[in-house]
Structures are given as C-alpha cells and as structure tokens.
Amino acid sequence: MKKVYIETYGCQMNVNDTEVVFSILASHGYERTEDISSADVIMANTCSIRDNAEQRIWGRVDYFNTFRKSRSGLVVGILGCMAERLKDALLDTRKVDVVAGPDAYRNLPALLEAVSEGHPQMDVELSREETYGDISPVRIDKNGVSAFISIMRGCNNVCSYCVVPYTRGAERSRDPHTIVREACDCVAAGYKEVTLLGQNVDSYRFEDVDFAKLLAMVADVSPQLRVRFSTSHPKDISDAVIETMASRPNICHQIHLPVQSGNNRILEKMRRRYTREWYLGRVAKIRSVMPDCGISTDAIVGFCSETEEEFRDTLSIFEEVGYDSAFMFNYSERPGTLAARNYPDDVPAEEKTRRLNELIELQNRLSLESNRRDVGKVFEVLVEGPSKRNETDLCGRTGSGKMCVWPDTKHRAGDYVLVRVEDCSSATLLCSLAEK
Ligand code: SAH
Ligand code: SF4
Ligand code: F3S
C-alpha cells in the first residue's frame, strides 16, 4: 500500500475535503500516514484567500521537496484553492507533480497512477454538479466528538474582494438525503456534534428543501446530536432559519455572521448586498428570538479607498453588536477579482495594520465583556477532551460556542456535563462542575 500524507490549510470546508480525498484514495489502495518522512505521496490541500496563505504554502512546497533526496519516486501534490487558481504555474516550478482542483478529487487516483510514470498531471476542471454526496469522509480530527458535513460547494456571490467563486466555482447544494445519512453515520460512529458547512448556508436549496428545512431534518436525526453550521450570509439569513434554531434544543445557538465592514459605501463596493442597517436588523431579530445566541463575525480592514472615518464605522458596528468573537483581516488583493480589476489597493500596509490592531484590541475587550456576562451562569457543554494546558482539566463548548475549561477526572470526550462559570479570560470561561 502506498502511504499518503496531507497537510490541510484554509477553511473548515478544506478540512472536510481532505477527509473526502482520504476516502477516495483509501478505496484505491492508498493508506493515510501522519509521518511525512515515510510518505510516498505528500500533498497540501491549499487556500488562496489571502496572499499570506499562499506564501505559507510555497514555503511548504520547498520543504516537501527536501524529501526527494531520500525517497526516489516521491510524488508532491497540490490540491484545493491554490491548485485551482495557479494551475500550470504550479507545475512550471518543477517542484510539484500533481495539481488537482476542488472538483477533481475523484480523478486523483488516476492522476497519481499516471504521474508515477514520470509525467506531471493536472485536473482543475470545475463542475456544476459535483458534491461528493455519496462519499463517506475518513474523519481526520482526533477527538471523535465533532464532525464536519459539507452541505454545498462553491459560491455565487462574487463579493468583489473574494477569490472563492473563482477557486470553488458555482454554488451547488447536496442532496439532503445524503446529508441526513451522513449525520446518521456520525451518530453510529459515536459523534455528538456535526457542523454543516457552506460558504453561504442560507442559500442552500435542493428541490423543495431550503436551509431551514435541512436544519430541522438533521436535528431530528438524534436528540443527542448537537447541530452547528457555518457560514451565514447577512443578506440571506431567513426568519425561518432563526425560528428553526429556536425550535430544536439540539441546534446550537451560535451564528457566524460576517459583517466585513460597518460602512455602507464600503459594503456596496465589496458587493455584499446589504447595508449596516439591514445587518443590525438581522442581529436584532436573532436576539429577539434567541437572547442567548452567540454571534461572531469576520471583518476586513483597509479595503480599497477605505477612509479613517469609514473604518470607524466598523469599530462602531462591533461595539453596537458586541460580538462574542471575531476573525479580522487586512485586505489582501487577489488577482482576477472584481476589486483587483477595478479599484487600486491604496490603503498603505502600515495603515491597514494600525487599523487591524485597533479592531483586534476592541474585540478583545468585547470578548471579555461578553464572557464576564456569563460568570455565575450554568451551561450544558459537550466534552471535547483534556484541556491543552492541564491534563486534569477538561474542555468543551457551550451551545453559543464559548470554550469552557474545568477540573474534572470523572467525565470523558463525548459526555454532556453541566458547568458553572466561575471566572473568565477574553478567550475562555473558567468553570467548575455543576450538579446535574
Ligand atoms: N463565505 C464566507 C467567507 C469565506 S472567506 C462569507 O461570505 O462570509 C472567510 C473570510 O476571509 C471572509 O469572511 C473575509 O473576512 C476574509 N476574506 C476574504 N477575502 C479576503 C481578502 N481578499 N482579503 C482579506 N480578507 C479576506
Ligand atoms: Fe467569498 Fe462572498 Fe462567497 Fe463568502 S459569500 S465565499 S466572501 S464571494
Ligand atoms: Fe481558503 Fe478556499 Fe476555503 S480560498 S478559505 S480554502 S474556500
């Protein structure tokens, strides 16, 4: 059996894609290894979202090539978004033998077979239908408690800064019956939590099943199975989705609702297709139905022509919403996107970083304030395993997505326990076991 080693970069969908790739390769006589030095095939499943993501992968490609000296016949492959974006440019470096885009994974065994005869191979065909719906992913996360399920692929939104529509192709939704079957498989394998993945889950539709219906179908698989999802799009998240979340106790009250900017001129230029006022209206609706709902976000600072005053609108929307957590980024121009073609990347790098630091500092305070509001409360958490810092502590998340840590030698991964919040940092709730 040939041994395959894969490193995964980028979003959760890429993690799940790697699981699909392992499943496809396993049925063609390949075996997974976590030891790079014994691998016959070394691959990276890559991300193109920002320039620094790609730079990091170039560094890994050089590193992978150092193994050629000690292993003749070694195959180096690039999968995922960077494969799709750069295509032959990757083969031209002569450091890469196989290039396979996100919709080409069924062809990977054939590509690997052909390359072993000495010819570099590439398949970057995008598909309108491929969802890998029939493939049972080989789970690579170690805790055995939570699993990712991709419910759709691609994206039709064409936000002006974003490379995803080019690297992942057109949006398509997966047959809900295959999704429910995968959730059942997860339960049978002992998993306690599934996260439904899509770039914009709110635009999921397969025949008469929309995302609200799908959520209910997955939640009804087992009351012991927690259901999460990501990512919601502010322009599309419907009242039906919010009400379905409230109607099933096992759907976690957590919404990742990327705002990107708090300024209407910038939102328009980003082609997000909502306004600050619309966004705040959605947040108000979520909170009126689920006052305990965790809300997190993504934001970009220093987008083309963003002024200091416009950046202040992002600070103020963060303050107004009071996010529980956020991912924040400097704008990174991506070749071929609408923004790269039409607007100069004119906010200086130092200025972007200054704005980013200010936003991060604000979010640290907001996260701390949000956590402080939970001190004294009792939550049901799903144990993920021992905490990273201390072997005699366990960790797990609240329904709203906050990480809890508490001393515990009785329970183990996969148990549901009640914990009381005693103290907190901006990142963690420090808890004790509460009586059931
Ligand atoms: N589909 C999701 C986002 C996927 S990309 C959505 O629509 O919200 C994850 C995050 O990366 C985005 O929310 C955005 O904040 C950030 N991002 C995307 N393109 C970027 C770019 N060119 N520069 C900086 N950050 C970017
Ligand atoms: Fe990119 Fe916008 Fe699609 Fe999200 S919704 S993946 S930001 S184009
Ligand atoms: Fe990156 Fe592709 Fe995901 S660009 S964020 S790996 S969809």
Query: Tell me, what CATH number does 175's domain have?
Result: 3.30.750.210
Task: Evaluate whether residue 131 is within a structural domain.
Answer: no
- 123, 153, 172 - which closes a domain: 123
Q: Average pLDDT over the chain, rounded to whole?
A: 97
Q: Ligand 2 pocket: which residues have CB below 6 Å?
A: 155, 157-159, 162, 164-165, 199-200, 233
Beta bridge partners of 423: 430
Residue 118 neighbours by CB under 8 Å, 6+ apart: none
Task: Evaluate whether residue 135 is within a structural domain.
Answer: no
71 and 96 housed in the same domain = yes
The answer on pLDDT for 240 being more than 80 is yes
Q: What is the CATH number of the domain that holds 392?
A: 2.40.50.140
211 and 168 housed in the same domain = yes
329 and 268 housed in the same domain = yes
296 and 216 housed in the same domain = no
| pLDDT confidence tier of residue 277, bands split at 50, 70 and 90 | very high
The answer on pLDDT for 429 being more than 80 is yes
Q: Give the span between the Cα atoms of 214 and 200, in whole angstroms.
A: 14
Residue range 335-358: mean pLDDT, rounded: 98
Rg of the chain taking only CA atoms, in angstroms: 22
112 and 7 housed in the same domain = yes
| Ligand 2 atom 4, closest CA | 199
Indicate left, alpha or beta for 332 from its phi (over 0: left) and psi (-120 to 50: alpha).
beta
Q: What is the CATH number of the domain that holds 264?
A: 3.30.750.200
Cα–Cα separations (whole angstroms), residue 191 to 214, 292, 308, 345, 396: 19, 25, 47, 45, 14
The answer on pLDDT for 411 being more than 80 is yes
Q: Specify whether the CB–CB gap between 225 and 183 falls below 8 A.
A: yes
pLDDT of residue 207: 98
Whole-structure pTM over 0.95, yes or no? yes
Looking at the CA of residue 165, tell me the nearest atom of ligand 2.
8
The answer on pLDDT for 373 being more than 70 is yes
Task: Evaluate whether residue 429 is within a structural domain.
Answer: yes
171 CA to middle of ligand 2, Å?
11
For the Cβ of 13 lying below 6 angstroms from any atom of ligand 3, the answer is yes
Q: Give the span between the Cα atoms of 187 and 109, in whole angstroms.
A: 30
pLDDT of residue 118: 76
Percent of the chain beyond pLDDT 70?
100
288 and 321 housed in the same domain = yes
The answer on pLDDT for 142 being more than 80 is no
30 and 56 housed in the same domain = yes
Which residue type, as a one-letter code, is found at position 99? V
Task: Evaluate whether residue 136 is within a structural domain.
Answer: no
Task: Evaluate whether residue 164 is within a structural domain.
Answer: yes
| pLDDT confidence tier of residue 68, bands split at 50, 70 and 90 | very high
Nearest bound ligand to the CA of residue 57: 3
Nearest bound ligand to the CA of residue 158: 2
The answer on pLDDT for 366 being more than 90 is yes
Task: Evaluate whether residue 132 is within a structural domain.
Answer: no
Q: Give the span between the Cα atoms of 141 and 19, in whole angstroms.
A: 9
112 and 76 housed in the same domain = yes
Task: Evaluate whether residue 39 is within a structural domain.
Answer: yes
155 and 116 housed in the same domain = no
Q: Ligand 1 pocket: which residues have CB below 6 Å?
A: 49-50, 161-162, 164, 199-200, 231, 233, 258, 260, 298, 300, 329, 331-332, 334
C-alpha 67: how far from its chain's center? 30
- 373, 388, 411 - which closes a domain: 373
For the Cβ of 50 lying below 6 angstroms from any atom of ligand 3, the answer is no
**pLDDT tens, position by position, 167-197:** 999 999 999 999 999 999 999 999 999 999 9
- 97, 123, 149 - which closes a domain: 123
**pLDDT tens, position by position, 194-210:** 999 999 999 999 999 99
Secondary structure, 3-state, the chain: CEEEEEEECCCHHHHHHHHHHHHHHHCCCEEECCCHHHCCEEEEEECCCCHHHHHHHHHHHHHHHHHHCCCCCCEEEEEEHHHHHHCHHHHHCCCCCEEECCCCHHHHHHHHHHHCCCCCEEECCCCCCCCCCCCCCCCCCCCCCEEEEECEECCCCCCCCCCHHHHHCCCEECCHHHHHHHHHHHHHCCCCEEEEECCCHHHCEECCEEHHHHHHHHHCCCCCCEEEEECCCCCCCCHHHHHHHHHCCCECCEEECCCECCCHHHHHHCCCCCCHHHHHHHHHHHHHHCCCCEEEEEEEECCCCCCHHHHHHHHHHHHHHCCCEEEEEECCCCCCCHHHHHCCCCCCHHHHHHHHHHHHHHHHHHHHHHHHCCCCCEEEEEEEEECCCCCCEEEEECCCCCEEEEECCCCCCCCEEEEEEEEECCCEEEEEECCC
Query: For residue 425, what are its two tokens?
Result: 């940092």
Domains in the chain: how many in total? Answer: 4
Residue 279 belongs to what domain range? Answer: 257-373
Task: Evaluate whether residue 130 is within a structural domain.
Answer: no
Looking at the CA of residue 14, tell me the nearest atom of ligand 3.
6
113 and 147 housed in the same domain = no
pLDDT of residue 436: 65
Q: What is the CATH number of the domain that holds 39?
A: 3.40.50.12160
229 and 147 housed in the same domain = yes
248 and 170 housed in the same domain = yes
